[in-house]
Amino acid sequence: MSDSPANGADLDALHERVLAWFEENARVLPWRGVDDPWAVLVSELMLQQTPVARVLPVFEAWMARWPTPASLAADPAGEAVRAWGRLGYPRRAQRLHAAAVAITEHHGGEVPSDHAALLALPGVGEYTAAAVASFAFGQRHVVLDTNVRRVLARVLLGQAHPARSLTASERRLADRALPRADAHRWAAASMELGALVCTARSPRCTECPVADLCRWFAAGRPEPDEPVRRSQAWTGTDRQCRGRLMAVLREHEGTVPKVALDATWDDATQRERCLDSLLDDGLVTVHPDGTFSL
């Protein structure tokens, strides 16, 4: 490759090969190839920090129950949290419900196509707004999830992993790497390449359509000097405790007595702290009789 990490000729080859690979290898997913911006928005919020395999059954049940923003907005937010099931980070369900209410009240029940309007929706950040504008409306935006960042870091910079936090220089590089045509397809294709081939732990470089263009592969796949950050432990954490409490509340249509919540976790101090945090987050409601519900 050229000395430039984003040389025009190199990028043309990169785009052509990754898009051709995507044409042949893209997974069939229920939110792809559909004329339904709501499905795209729901999928993007569900997929945050959650694997596709876990999202699929929840997404399908969600869309069957709430096929439009207005249908979700008509139900209480607690029902959205209940339907979120075990996807984790249940505040995402609250935010999706709030977004549905805003879409219903301010956009005639239709997911807006304007990037700024998307960004103004509750729970929608820069990544989600760009992803929905790209995937649902075919617009040209930089869509930078973990998979895309890893592909660009390896191919264009020769780095095993991107920085822990998105940097301004990384965003500029991604912008220079964005093709003028088919930018929305490039966003989906580079994301898929990172998810299926250019994976974090066991990259399948021999199957990569751009291995000969990849600076990291050419350098012998060097590992970074600093160790890769390990995943946070789960057992015994507040996240696990909160999950246990939420599981009991999801299983009951009505209110739940405190004794049922007490039975979920032995450490009373930690359990009360986690219950308080769920109340503070608005995920759980306490009633005058001392019972609890979503």
The span from the CA of 72 to the CA of 98, in Å, is 9
pLDDT digits (tens, 9 = 90+) for 140-165: 999 999 999 999 999 999 999 998 88
What is the DSSP secondary structure assignment for residue 89, as one 8-state letter? -
Answering whether pTM is above 0.75, one says yes
CB atoms within 10 A of CB 107: 16
Residue 6 CB coordination number (10 Å): 19
Q: Which pLDDT does position 1 carry in this prediction?
A: 47
Query: What is the residue whose two structure tokens read 């990037």?
Result: 115
pLDDT of 64: 98
- Count other C-beta atoms under 10 Å from residue 55's C-beta: 21
Residue 294 has what pLDDT? 87
Nearest to 103 by CA among 126, 74, 140, 131: 74
∠ CA 135-202-210, rounded to 5°: 60
Write out the catalytic residue numbers: 44
Class of CATH domain 1-220:
mainly alpha
Better-predicted residue by pLDDT, 275 or 31: 31
At 107, list the tokens.
């956009």
For residue 253, give Cα distances in angstroms to 76, 94, 106, 249: 12, 18, 31, 8
**pLDDT tens sequence across 32-89:** 989 999 999 999 999 998 999 999 999 999 999 999 999 999 999 999 999 998 888 8
Pairwise CA distance, residues 261 & 68, whole Å: 34
Helices (H), the chain: 8-25, 37-47, 52-65, 69-73, 77-84, 91-106, 115-119, 126-137, 146-152, 168-177, 183-196, 215-218, 238-251, 258-262, 268-280
Residue 6 has a pLDDT of 56
pLDDT(282) > 90: no
Tens digits of residue pLDDT in 177-200: 999 999 999 999 999 999 999 999
Of the chain, the percentage scoring pLDDT greater than 70 comes to 94
Q: How far is C-alpha 79 from the geometric centre of its chain's CA atoms?
A: 21
From CA 84, how far away is CA 80, in angstroms rounded?
Answer: 6
89-98 residue pLDDT tens: 888 999 999 9
Domain positions in the chain: 1-220, 238-293
Helix, strand, or coil here: 21?
helix
